[in-house]
Structure 1
Amino acid sequence: MSDKINEQEEVIQEEVQNEEETAEATQEAAEPTLEEKVAQLEEALKESEDKYLRVHADFENIKKRLEKEKYQAIDYASEKFAKDLLAPIDTLEMALAAEEAATELPAEELLAKLKQGVELTIKNFYTAFEKHDITTVETDGEFDPNFHDAVMQVDSPDHEDGQIVQQLQKGYKYKERLLRPAMVSICKK
């Protein structure tokens, strides 16, 4: 019997030893080796680099698209204004067509129709200008070198020194920016 007990003790000791070895192997398997840690970190680095490159490429594509849209906006900024100028051009073309068709009309009647067509065209131009904040430079009163270009000095009993006597050519402003100064003559006493 004691042999049997000894045998059982040996079997139990072997089982305990096997379990300890299995536990050690499991523990070693649970803790990654240095090479495995390096491999995991390299994989994470590759994933991060890939993400970075994708985000950077997306950013560059967006930047290029916005740049292209900006240049298109600049190129086509005057499109609305150009469309509004089509009406005056149409009016001028109709006036020319009416003149060619009206060869039987007396000269005075033809001249009156042409004058009416030119007045309508000018009205269309001013309507287009108004829609786009283009205004004429005022020439009543004092000379302002910021908005007026004095091309002559004249004597005038009706005006004071430095006042505008006559407008020779209209000046125009776009919003508050001067497009062209008004050419004027001013009084000099």
Structure 2
Amino acid sequence: MDNKKDKEEKIEETLNDTVETDTKEETAENEVNEVKNEADNAPKEEDKDDDKFSKLTEELFKAKEENTKLNNELNTLKDRLVRINAEYDNFRKRTAKEKEGIYADACNDVLKEMLGVLDNLERAVAVENSSVEDLKNGVDMTMRQFKNAFDKLGVEEIDASGEFDPHLHQAVMHVDDPDLGKNVVADVLQKGYKKGDKVLRYTIVKVAN
């Protein structure tokens, strides 16, 4: 009876060992298959390197395109700068030439008007045995011709009557005069002249009070 029980226990133990072994083998096989699947699904290092190279190549190509674009823009700006400098230089030369021409024309206009005055002065000097009255008349005629020349050139005498104006008058003396108001021109020592708004010579005056 005991022998039979022992045999049954051994058989059962053997069966349990067999089942346990089969389970371990199945588990191991499953683990192997899982690792294999992960290895198959995982990206290969070679593929990763190819992807990196492709990305770097693409970035390099884009950088070259951008560099070419910037160089083209830079060359365009350089060309514009050269043209602007050339245009400015031509403008400066043309303006300087025009300015010289205007100055020369103005000088010619003044000289032409003065030539008539010179002619009259030479005639007056050439006259022999002229009287004081003749000399006075000659000087008066020359003065009137001078004033006419000034009128043609737009030169006019500065008005010095009334209140002192520092923009037109130059005060060199101050006098007390109860008959005149404060800061009034008392006397003109030298006439002044202007052309338009440009003062050619200030009127030199005495100022009262």
| TM-score when normalising by structure 1 | 0.59
- Quick check: 1:61 aligned with 2:82? no
Query: Greater helix percent: which structure?
Result: 2
Q: Pick one of 115, 134, 146 that aligns with 2:140.
A: 115
Aligned alpha-carbon RMSD (Å): 3.4
Question: For residue 181 of structure 1, what is the aligned residue in structure 2?
Answer: 202
Q: Does residue 192 of structure 2 align to residue 171 of structure 1? A: yes
Higher relative contact order (CA 8 A, sep 6+): 1
Residue 112 of structure 2 is matched in structure 1 by 87
Using a 3 Å threshold, how does the CA distance of structure 1 residues 184 and 73 change in structure 2: closer, same or farther?
same
Q: How much does 1:157 deviate?
A: 4.6
The aligned amino acid for 2:202 is P
Gaps of 5+ in 2: 1-64
Structure 1, unaligned runs of 5 or more: 1-40
Matched residue type, 1:137:
I
Does the C-alpha gap of structure 1 residues 147 and 68 become closer, same or farther in structure 2, counting only changes over 3 Å?
Answer: same
Work out which of the residue numbers 139, 143, 146 in structure 1 matches 2:167. Answer: 146
Report the CA distance shift for 1:45/1:69 in structure 2 as closer, same or farther (over 3 A). Answer: same
Using a 3 Å threshold, how does the CA distance of structure 1 residues 58 and 100 change in structure 2: closer, same or farther? same
Aligned residues: 148
Distance in structure 2 (CA, Å) of the matches to 1:105 and 1:171? 33
Rounded to whole Å, the distance in 2 between the matches of 1:49 and 1:150 is 63
Task: Answer yes or no: is the 8 Å Cα contact 2:114–2:149 preserved in 1.
Answer: no
Q: Percent identity?
A: 22
CA distance in 1, matches of 2:197, 2:139: 35
